[in-house]
Structure 1
Amino acid sequence: MTFPPTTTHQKPLAIALGDPAGIGPEIILDSYRRLKDQSVPFFIMGGAQCLATAEEQAEIACPVVAINDPSEAADAFVDGLPVLKALDAPYTPGAPSDEGAALALHSLAEATRCVIEGKATALVTAPVSKAGLTRVGFEYPGQTEFLAQVCGMAPDDAVMMLAGPTLRTVPLTVHVALSAVPALISIELITHKARIVAAALKRDFGCDRPRIAIAGLNPHSGEGGQFGNEEGRFIEPAIATLRDEGIEAVGPVPGDALFNPRMRKTYDAALCMYHDQALIPIKAIEFDEGVNVTLGLPIVRTSPDHGTAFDIAGSGVADSSAMVAAIKMAAACASARSDGGVHG
């Protein structure tokens, strides 16, 4: 993936710091080191002293440059990592605190505001601790639901996609018990999410005619009703509806056949029935470059597809590849939107 040349007139990407006790500071600093000569400019919302301490302790060659406004980011990017002056907290790798969680929440809210107001072209969020955010007043199941509300959308209109170089997956149901999944599956839910996925593949990923493979729920997709009837009751009728609308949907494809190399070449995204059916393959195949993308929002939002990793924070072993991929994907999606869709 390549970038257009950086210019001082270019609007930057906004990056939310994430929990400063996790690997967020390290992977942000290292991402700047890896991308400074080829990336569109980006800035971090808050945590300047935290990042400066992390840079010193981790011995990552990445000067921190404090800025007062996002419009200064492109000029500052030449000299170092631009950090917008805002809330700060001590750098305490591996030791999460309420002060750090408050910084993470402030960074998320303010970075999102910058993108909504048009001061930045896309939002990239570093990993957060949901437990930590809850302790400081965050009332959402996750960042996706928060973003949907602040963008004035219903939670179901924001769809989580996991994307890598060779695979994109979307879970139909997300943070629910596996035993609850069959009762949640419906024709309406499948068609609603598939339409959002198809529109996003066109708008953000340059797919003229998006191909969506829809997974079965049961072994062998139910084997004609022998192992469950959700395929016949819900999934097959939903696929028929989508095809009538002109969406190239196929399936239900058995989960054990959906992700082999030959099958992956036949679709642009796989719509899976439950969390692990979507996340296990992306983490097995694309772990170092997996990106969490929120589809359906009026803004572009990406995030590395991994957590805070408190256990390795500050140890010097964190890999910034997924953060680099998230920044690249945010820039590419924002560019596609500004061009009205890239068609290849």
Structure 2
Amino acid sequence: MKISTVLVLLLCTIFFSCEKEDTSPVSSIPVTTVAYSFDSDANSKLMFKDGDLLQTMTSESLRYEIGKVLRVKAINETTIEIANFAPVDIQDATILLIIEGQAKPIKLFKISKIRAHGVQEIKYPFIENINIFLDTDNKEVDLSHYKTTGIAPGKVSFDFTGETDLIKKLKSLAKLKWKVKYHDFDPNDDPTNNWKENIDAKDIRRFSGFIINMAYLLQADNTMKTFAEEPIYDNNGVMMTVEQKKAALQKMIDIPMVNCGVVVNVSGLGGGYTYGLANHVLNDYLTQDPSFITIHEMAHMIGFSHSSSMTYPSKENMGATVAAGRVYLQMLKNNEFPIKVSNYYMPSDLSK
């Protein structure tokens, strides 16, 4: 009897132990990143529309970094603005939130699609009852403690990422320092100067694509290689060394601000942070090489004069504009540029 009793008790203990283990499974719900679309009048507005006020389109609030044409900025502790400064739709982007003191950027939300020049304000997702996010190492981060207070704008910054070909090309522009803004350089409508009176939305739309493609040209490895191999003279007519030519191109890349305007009577004006181009350049850059004018004016911005072949080709037809032109035409042929005739959102802008 004693052996049987012990055996029964042992079997019961094993049975109930197993039963308890089976009825208490560990469950885990995977964290997903919320997605938004800003692709219609119902969920977004448009910048640079025909009829928009000039002072709005040229305001300081619309200055953006060339490496962040998909710009996110904090409006206040609870609200952010998302703006696409490219004249093409951007799809499948992930917005990253960088919080001061946080080890890794946080995947704040995904954008299924944001239309060209689309802009919208939204509440932070953690204000809208989403608590758990993933950082860029896919580790969970709880932001629920910000639900009532939000985050001070000075404590955050933003970036974007994605795997599409377009996003990868736009991300490559982060090599440049440019902060871009569109300007009316003739506020008094002086008919004696070479600046267009009252630039319009079409001017800015076309410039927005041009400046992206010009930045893409300058950051390309092949452009640096071609510059280094091209015979180029400095302001004193002395042949530049390879190091000097590379340094000159790097200075273009490192220009901190590019204030873009439209000129008349001439094809371009450049100096300091001023970069002016004629409408025939802005109309044709998607099908023709603009380098003779555009590199010429950018060379002025970094201190080269007309005595240098950084601006005008030498008598042997060599120089910076010629070298850049070869790369530009090859990129056009290979359909490499981020902004193309096929993806530019207002084809009517590309007519004379």
Q: Same fold (TM over 0.5)?
A: no
- The bucket for the TM-score relative to the shorter chain is under 0.3
Q: Specify the structure having the higher radius of gyration (Cα).
A: 2
With structure 1 as the length reference, what TM-score do the two structures score? 0.26
Identify the structure with the greater strand proportion: 2
Identify the structure with the greater helix proportion: 1
Question: Higher relative CO (CA 8 A, sep ≥ 6), structure 1 or 2?
Answer: 1
